[in-house]
Structure 1
Amino acid sequence: MVTVLDTTKPSGKMRHPEKAHRPDQPTRLKKPDWIRVKAPTSKGFHETNKIVKSHNLVTVCGEAGCPNIGECWEQKHASFMIMGEICTRACAFCNVATGMPGALDKDEPVNVAKAVKTMGLNHVVITSVDRDDLADGGAQHFVDVIHAIREYSPGTTVEILTPDFLRKEGALEAVVAAKPDVFNHNLETVPSNYLKVRPGARYFHSIRLLQRVKELDPSIFTKSGIMVGLGEERNEVLQLMDDLRIADVDFLTIGQYLQPTKKHHEVMRFITPDEFKSFETVAYTKGFLMVSASPLTRSSHHAGADFEKLRANREAKLTAAK
């Protein structure tokens, strides 16, 4: 978990002071037993942490306070967050710092590639902060990272989790041309929540972005994810599934929202495991090739194993259609 900064100091970044907790806000809900995880202490966790630090890298696992960090890092799985650790947006659910980012690190693509090779990853997830300050939103940096990984580890499959590249002409096309194996862009929540949860984004732009990936290169798997427990209604989640299927999205993830600090959007409800199982069942009936829905599901959790299942499911579907 990233420490919340004192924004009165000239650090150049801040933790969403506009979202300060108000006395009239409800008391934070107590976490149910099914959402609790053990603190990371294993040897594998510390080895992964050492590799990440030695290559001067940032992971979304640490920046976003992911509850699965102990499990993933013990297995030497990590999701690398490129283009710095300061985001140009201030989403109400996210614990990544907001402010004006610095210049891109020209050595980062190679450093990421070297870490992937050192860890011996079969599958790697690359994500980033939003970089609205850059003319292409950081698209070329994604391209450079993908190419570097392919050079150092030709057998590694690459999954990217991108920003929306809002108002960045040609950015999406450049990233798709680099041919990642999986293109992930998260909707995060239902459209009625966007104004308060994801104010810098536009729901239907994100849907269109995912649809456009398939139009440009149908061979690339597309993926999106949402959090539940932010006050959404069940029928809104089902409508979102339909919107994603219209865009031909292959893979849907649904996980429980967890409030990083008191300054962030509160958890409105903890969704039960049975409700997650119901979402999974419905999503499969709507035609998704792969669905991961559970309290601790996150976009990159079990990403390698899920990719193998995704690929197998597509092969099975194609075979059945013959």
Structure 2
Amino acid sequence: MKHARTGKFRGGFTSLELVLVMFLSAVLIGAVVISYGALVRAQPKVSSMASVPLGSARVQHYYGASGTSRNVPVAPHYGMLALAEELREQFLHDVISATAVFCLPRESHNTWRPSRIPWSSLEHEELDTPQKFRAHVIAAAGVPASLYRDYRNPLGTSETTPSPNATIFILGFSKSEGHLSVSSIYDVDVVRFTGAAEPQGFHASVKRYAPKPAALDDEPLVYSSGYEVFFPPSNPVARSLADWSSDDFTPLFVTFERSSRLSVREGAAIDRFKTAAERPFYFIWWPDPAMRHLGMQTNTAAPATPQHAYNHMAGRTAFMFTVPMFPAL
């Protein structure tokens, strides 16, 4: 009887197969490394800093500090984006508990931040628009008429060109008879620098002012929190203002009035904003530290529509708010 031959099965790869696998692995890893490098290079670089000559008046009124310049991160900057997110949450919290919100445009820096404003229902008229609020603080609180503009909305004329700065007054419930309580104030400032010895671009900042702990009733509000960033020109090879003159960040807000006000016709430019069914409200925009620049976008809205006043703001910031003028109602 013959015994069946048995033997061990010898498996594995030949030398040629191993060399081929190693070659393909090297090609694959090389492609991944090249792709990853391209992605990394395409990401925004670590932001540099710009020494911005704000001037002593702005530094003092913005931050309550001394000096004439600020070292500011250049956009895009994700550290400032984190601060902006925190400020957004604080702003929404302030608005929720507010009795009224009034937005006033400015040409210069804000110098008035009261903790309360004189007002009596027996002596003063109802403050149901930002224009009436402005007129009241001028008459009752002695605020200079030049500080805040008598402005309603962008109406397509040189007289109604939006201002680069704005102040948002957030009023709360008052414990003092005869006064309106100011819970907080937000200043939005976008300052263009074009001087030969200055960094070319915009210093953009949003700042919150609130009462000091254990503050007296008449003490002004003080700087609480905020963010700032410097936007270079949208044209990376700009050599003069003409190369980036269209860069801008306006309007900072648009006001929508109640539709019932259409009973008084004031012209198509004004009446197009009378669309609020119940309560007047604002669209508000803040500069976004994650954006590279403030280059203008194409406005595709029809001139007869309210969208024509702000359509170009689309895609330029993630910080847009819809805020009722009277949140407590």
Q: TM-score, normalised by structure 1?
A: 0.23
Q: Give the helix-richer structure, 1 or 2.
A: 1
Q: Which has the higher contact order (CA 8 A, sep 6+)?
A: 2
Q: TM-score, normalised by structure 2?
A: 0.23
- Larger Rg computed on CA atoms: 2
